[in-house]
Amino acid sequence: MQHDSERQIPIWFFIGALLVLYGVIILGTGVYQVVQPPEKPLALAHLHAGVWWGALMVAVGSTYVWRFRPGR
């Protein structure tokens, strides 16, 4: 957490990793729903929010993971 500690992995790394993981899951589900639309679509389903929101989470998460990777 604190930048002056050698050993402790910064919180930002954990946040980035979790965002990437969640982003991949949401993006994957979103793409699947584009290919295989559900029987009862939600409101505004045509905007495919899962796809771009998942992609955005992966992008933000990767930035954090790279910037705060352990041993950097």
Q: Map residue 9 onto helix, strand or coil.
A: coil
Q: Which of 6, 35, 36, 43 lies at the binding interface for other proteins (CB under 8 A)? A: 43
Q: Which of 20, 30, 36, 68 lies at the binding interface for other proteins (CB under 8 A)? A: 30
13 is a contact residue toward other proteins (CB under 8 A): no
For CA atoms 66, 64, 15, 60, the dihedral sign is negative
59 is a contact residue toward other proteins (CB under 8 A): no
Q: Which of 6, 35, 36, 38 lies at the binding interface for other proteins (CB under 8 A)? A: 38
